Amino acid sequence: MAENERPDLGAMVMRLGRRLLAMEQPILEQHGVTMWGYVVLTALRDGPARAQASLAAAINADKTRLIPVLDDLQKRGLIERDPDPADRRVRLLGLTPEGRRLQQAVQAEIRAAEEIMLSKIKDQAAFVRALGELSA
């Protein structure tokens, strides 16, 4: 490859994504949660979601595939699905205290592993900021 050439951004991001997923998978397994389960717990971290469809849209998931994930999380006592007092047909989705604890524990371990990866970069803050800007 010539000096001024580089791989396409998509190729680099995909390789990085695969490395990150491979790093996260053992952490998720250790805590007994799937990647989609963790995504749901993280999405509900800042407050309840009004309806499964709105949660699915927020996390870019197929709402029909999300239902088994929600069923599992509810069965394990990690989320609650309560009727919305304003519309009994709608379910409010929220974290239980155990769900919040699990999300925080998993995130702390993932962030620690990310710090090891980021230690290879001189200006970590700029890299993270650029990723945030590009993924917005």
CATH number of 19-135: 1.10.10.10
Q: What is the mean pLDDT of residues 54-59?
A: 91
Identify which of 79, 94, 82 has the alpha carbon closest to the alpha carbon of residue 33: 79
Tokens of 132: 């945030």
Tokens of 31: 């805590």
Torsion-angle region of residue 47: left (phi > 0), alpha (psi -120 to 50) or beta?
A: left
pLDDT > 70: what percent of the chain? 98
**pLDDT surpassing 80 at residue 1:** no
In sequence order, what are the beta bridge partners of 87? 84
**pLDDT surpassing 70 at residue 126:** yes
pTM: 0.87
pLDDT > 90: what percent of the chain? 68
Q: Provide the residue ranges of all domains of the chain, joining segments of one domain with +.
A: 19-135
Q: Kindly provide the b/e burial profile for residues 28-60, where b requires at least 16 CB atoms within 10 angstroms of the residue's own CB.
A: beeeebeebbbbbbbbbeeebbebbeebbeebe
